[in-house]
């Protein structure tokens, strides 16, 4: 009996270690016919404890992705600033803070979240976004953030006025627009002149010169961000090459910038096939490996930086958390209308809007597989909208009412973009680390939704 327990323990240690070092997803089935697990925790057990819809995250997978970047950039002064907008759960922010990450914020609310989860992390936070208010700027100045990524001359003028009022010198970086095309969805492409983001890189030298005469402003760095879900390293290299030329020009003029912020945007493979029997459910998509992608990205950025000896900031979000998370849902009905079959779940577009908003693809897998041939179905939710779907004309193995399904790669822009449409309380969230699962956000109640209103 003792030998059997030791063997089982060793098996699970190996599974967790392989899961943490996986090239793709941390969800797997430990044996044929067994339910999907995250770490040593069965997704069925989580559904029984916390009900559905339920977001489940692997803390081990998140930390391994962070370490991939830290190792790849270890030869340079670098700080990985997690893009809080991808998933702002306090427990995840605290986890990343313990791993030495900084934070990229885009609102005063996100700064408040960072300060709540990691009170000592303000000096590792950068503030991006095109519409910072005076109140948000004041909050960030008082907190002592690392720098403001300024996106317009008007914003820089406001920053100078608020800094003077508070008698605090404001460190800033201009977010320049390098006019580099990134092959991604038009809604998440940000590096062209027609986009609302950033300042034309050709205008930047004049703005830096003018700012140098203002004693309340410190030209600390330069920032660039060309978009999100970019799968090739080439656009990142092209953008940083143009930024590095700007830094050299400014240095010749006596303006020495200490930081280049390369932004985020490195993408993942949402279409990777899922093999529940493989340890850590490794990606089977040809040529996609997380560690290799990070190395490719780091090499492109390093080459473009050339002789720059200052500090490098990067702002990954999706790449750190997306594949570490899944949305767990229960099948309510299987319905046939004419030639169409609909699998109706208790999760809906208010829980995960990416398919409706971006036509995004999420792999959908049963938590415990049934025998039988796959058939073409639409996977939908109960919200009263035709756009409430997770997949259309998707091959899915048989499922029945009461079965659990997992929507994979939902750790980024899932809960962060959720809503209460149709007066639906938002899902609970669970963080799994090794063999332990803990609730990091309770499920909302209808009373929570009604509390701010008056009659």
pTM of the predicted model as reported, rounded to 2 decimal places: 0.91
In Å, how far are 57, 260, 266 from 74, measured between CA atoms?
Answer: 27, 16, 18
Q: Which residues contact 93 (CB under 8 A, 6 or more apart)?
A: 82, 84, 103, 113, 114, 117, 118
Looking at the structure, do residues 283 and 328 belong to the same domain, yes or no? no
Same domain, 221 and 140: yes
pLDDT the model gives residue 288 = 62
The Cβ of residue 174 has, within 10 Å, a number of other Cβ atoms equal to 29
* pLDDT recorded at residue 3: 41
Do 207 and 298 reside in the same domain of the chain?
yes
How far is 135 from 138, CA to CA, in rounded Å?
A: 5
Show which of 317, 338, 365 is a domain's final residue. 317
Verify that 410 and 359 share a domain, yes or no: yes
| Among 317, 337, 362, residue at a domain's last position | 317
Which parts of the chain register pLDDT below 50?
1-23, 183-192, 281-287
Q: Can you give the residue range of the structural domain that contains 414? A: 15-57+323-450
Q: Is residue 226 part of a domain?
A: yes
Q: What is the CATH number of the domain that holds 333?
A: 2.40.37.10
Look at residue 106 and tell me if it is in a domain: yes
pLDDT of residue 434: 87
CATH of the domain at 169: 3.20.20.10
On whether both 307 and 333 belong to a single domain, the answer is no
Q: Report CA dihedral (95, 100, 101, 107) to the nearest 10 degrees.
A: 80
Annotated active-site residue in 384, 447, 451, 455: 384
> What confidence score (pLDDT) does residue 287 get?
45
Instruction: Give the pLDDT of residue 195.
Output: 54
Shared domain for 164 and 283, answered yes or no, is yes
pLDDT at 197 (0 to 100): 67
425 and 385, same structural domain? yes
The confidence score (pLDDT) of residue 229 equals 87
What domain count does the chain have? 2
Rounded distance, CA 174 to CA 200, Å?
10
The verdict on residue 245 lying in a domain is: yes
Residue 384 annotated to the active site: yes
Residue 375, strand partner residues: 396
User: Do 312 and 243 fall into the same domain?
Assistant: yes
Six-digit token string for 89 = 């759960």
């Amino acid at each position: 009996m003792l030998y059997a327990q030791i063997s089982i323990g060793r098996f699970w240690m190996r599974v967790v270690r392989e899961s943490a070092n996986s090239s793709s997803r941390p969800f797997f089935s430990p044996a044929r016919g067994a339910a999907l697990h995250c770490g040593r925790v069965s997704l069925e057990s989580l559904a029984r404890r916390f009900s559905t819809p339920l977001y489940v995250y692997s803390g081990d997978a998140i930390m391994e992705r962070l370490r991939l970047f830290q190792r790849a950039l270890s030869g340079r002064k670098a700080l990985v600033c997690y893009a809080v907008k991808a998933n702002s759960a306090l427990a995840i922010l605290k986890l990343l803070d313990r791993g030495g990450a900084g934070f990229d914020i885009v609102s005063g609310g996100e700064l408040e979240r960072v300060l709540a989860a990691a009170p000592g992390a303000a000096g590792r936070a950068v503030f991006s976004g095109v519409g910072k208010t005076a109140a948000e700027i004041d909050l960030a100045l008082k907190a002592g953030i690392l720098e403001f990524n300024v996106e317009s001359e008007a914003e820089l003028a406001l920053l100078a006025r608020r800094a003077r009022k508070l008698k605090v010198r404001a460190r800033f970086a201009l977010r320049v627009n390098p006019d580099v095309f990134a092959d991604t969805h038009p809604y998440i492409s940000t590096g062209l002149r027609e986009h609302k983001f950033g300042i034309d890189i050709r205008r930047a030298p004049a703005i830096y010169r003018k700012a140098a005469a203002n004693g309340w402003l410190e030209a600390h760095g330069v920032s660039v961000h060309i978009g999100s879900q970019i799968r090739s390293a080439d656009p990142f290299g092209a953008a940083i090459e143009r930024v590095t030329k700007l830094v050299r020009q400014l240095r010749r003029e006596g303006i020495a910038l200490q930081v280049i912020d390369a932004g985020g945007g490195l993408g993942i493979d949402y279409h990777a096939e899922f093999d529940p029997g493989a340890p850590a459910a490794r990606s089977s998509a040809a040529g996609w490996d997380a560690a290799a992608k990070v190395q490719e990205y780091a090499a492109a950025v390093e080459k473009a930086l050339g002789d720059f000896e200052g500090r490098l900031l990067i702002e990954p979000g999706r790449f750190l958390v997306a594949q570490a998370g899944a949305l767990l849902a229960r099948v309510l009905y299987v319905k046939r209308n004419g030639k169409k079959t609909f699998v109706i779940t208790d999760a809906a577009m208010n829980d995960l809007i990416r398919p409706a908003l971006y036509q995004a693809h999420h792999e959908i897998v049963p938590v415990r597989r049934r025998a039988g041939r796959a058939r073409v179905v639409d996977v939908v939710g109960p919200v009263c909208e035709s756009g409430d779907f997770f997949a259309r004309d998707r091959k899915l193995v048989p499922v029945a009412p009461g079965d659990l399904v997992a929507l994979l790669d939902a750790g980024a822009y899932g809960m962060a973009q959720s809503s209460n449409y149709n007066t639906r309380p938002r899902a609970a969230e669970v963080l799994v680390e090794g063999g332990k699962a803990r609730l990091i956000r309770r499920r909302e109640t209808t009373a929570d939704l009604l509390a701010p209103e008056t009659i």
